[in-house]
Amino acid sequence: MANIDDVAKLANVSIATVSRVFNNSPYVSEKAKANVLKVAKDLGYEPSILARSLAMKKTNTIGLIVPDISNPYYGGVVRGIEDVCNLYKYNIILCNTDNSKDKEIQYINMLKSRWVDGIIFHSSYLSDEVYKIFVDSRIPFVLAGRGTKYDVPYVVIDNKKAAYDATEYLISMGHKNIGIIHGPLEGMRETVDSVDRLMGYKEAMKKNGLEICDELIREANFKAKSGYDATLEMLKSGILPDAVFAISDIMAMGAINAIFDFGLKCPEDVSVIGFDNIDISEITRPSLTTVAQPMYDTGATAAKMLIKIIGNEILDKKNIILKHNIVIRNSCCKFKNF
């Protein structure tokens, strides 16, 4: 491939002039510019971003660390990031960690030696070790989808409030025996979400003078099967729920199947509300009422923040809480005789 020297020689100018042309410097005569452009085109010359990055110590590249891109949630987030990055002439290097701390560290180091301008980190958890590496590396970064005790930029939704709202929505329809299917409360994976959402549920119940019943609180693992099993156990436990809040859509679908297999109907006998608003939640039967997570916006906002930080702009807000909202479909209805 032709390089800057080739162009300079053939155009009878110095490489500085060629460089100026390709950087839209105003200090080039129209004549020289036209000539350089012509020669460049003939030669099929494109400036090497690599060499430019080395010279400028700026790569216009952003590292992106997520657990698993094959999960539609992350797909949505990443799409938001990429769109914004593309707008600002950044490109992204994608890394999948499966939430493994080792992989996270390995990737951060790789991105560092690639001189990325910044990193967007979306993991189920920001460990102390990873936090330290970030700080030591001095690479600008923002956390997506996850808050932290550390004073770093992040963009999240208010999981507790979202769960509170979901529960209160159920309560507003007259339901009293409200069950919850949550995820693991210990270990790394998605733990924080589970804890926060369970808290929001409990708070809503208390605030509304409803009894919190252990039989109606069940742990699952975010898979459909686990949601199914947990719901079935709940139904069989003796105290029948009139509504169930599953903290993910997939588990909610498992819950609906369980209700059906138990011989009841959803929403007539038991209402179900989910969380996430994944694509298919609107085509299932019944279509799923759910708490919508702004996946795309989470990514887009994180990218905007990071690009600002990279450009040394001041953030008006270091921590952004995106709004969730309840998408009302057909899996919830009013309590009988309410």
Q: Where do contacts with a copy of itself occur on this chain (CB under 8 A)?
A: 1, 44, 46-51, 53-54, 59, 61, 64, 68-72, 74-76, 78-79, 82-83, 86, 91-96, 109-110, 112-115, 136, 138, 224, 250, 253-254, 257, 260, 279-280, 282-285, 295-296
Name which of a copy of itself, DNA, none residue 209 binds, using a CB cut-off of 5 to 8 Å depending on partner kind: none
User: DSSP letter string over 148-172?
Assistant: -SSS--EEEE-HHHHHHHHHHHHHH
Name which of a copy of itself, DNA, none residue 254 binds, using a CB cut-off of 5 to 8 Å depending on partner kind: a copy of itself
Name which of a copy of itself, DNA, none residue 56 binds, using a CB cut-off of 5 to 8 Å depending on partner kind: DNA
Angle (CA) 197-203-206 rounded to 5° is 145
Name which of a copy of itself, DNA, none residue 15 binds, using a CB cut-off of 5 to 8 Å depending on partner kind: DNA
**Contacting DNA within 8-37 (CB under 7 A):** 12-17, 19-20, 22-23, 26-33
- β-strand partners of 141: 119
Cα–Cα distances in angstroms (integers) from residue 120 to residues 186, 195, 276, 304, 325, in the given order: 25, 24, 21, 11, 24
For residue 47, say if its preceding peptide bond is cis, omega within 30 degrees of 0.
no
Shortest distance, position 118 Cβ to DNA, whole Å: 18
Write the interaction track for DNA spanning residues 117-136; mark x where CB under 7 A is met and - where it is not: --------------------
Can you read off the two tokens belonging to residue 287?
Answer: 């279509």
Name which of a copy of itself, DNA, none residue 150 binds, using a CB cut-off of 5 to 8 Å depending on partner kind: none
Name which of DNA, a copy of itself, none residue 4 binds, using a CB cut-off of 5 to 8 Å depending on partner kind: DNA
Shortest distance, position 9 Cβ to DNA, whole Å: 11
Burial of 177 (0-12, 13-18, 19+ CB in 10 A): middle
Question: What is the spatial distance between Cα 199 and Cα 202, in angstroms, rounded to a whole number?
Answer: 5
Question: What is the spatial distance between Cα 143 and Cα 154, in angstroms, rounded to a whole number?
Answer: 4
**Contact by Cβ (8 Å): 91, 60:** yes
Query: Which among 48-56, 143-151, 251-259, 270-278 is the span making contact with DNA, rule CB under 7 A?
Result: 48-56
10, 37, 38, 55: residue in contact with DNA (rule CB under 7 A): 55
34, 38, 41, 54: residue in contact with DNA (rule CB under 7 A): 54
Name the residue nearer to a copy of itself (CB basis): 154 or 228: 228
Query: Which residues, 6 or more positions from 323, have their beta carbon under 8 angstroms from its beta carbon?
Result: 157, 294
Q: Which is it for strands 325-327 and 289-292: parallel, antiparallel or unpaired? A: antiparallel
For residue 267, say if its preceding peptide bond is cis, omega within 30 degrees of 0.
yes
Name the residue nearer to a copy of itself (CB basis): 74 or 169: 74
Write the interaction track for DNA spanning residues 242-281; mark x where CB under 7 A is met and - where it is not: ----------------------------------------
Shortest distance, position 91 Cβ to a copy of itself, whole Å: 5
Residue in 41, 106, 83 with CA at minimum distance from that of residue 295: 83
E strands of 151-288, at which residues? 154-157, 178-182, 217-219, 243-246, 271-276
Name the residue nearer to DNA (CB basis): 60 or 177: 60
Helix (H) or strand (E) holding 182: strand 178-182
Residues forming the site for DNA (CB under 7 A): 1, 3-5, 12-17, 19-20, 22-23, 26-33, 45-48, 51-52, 54-57
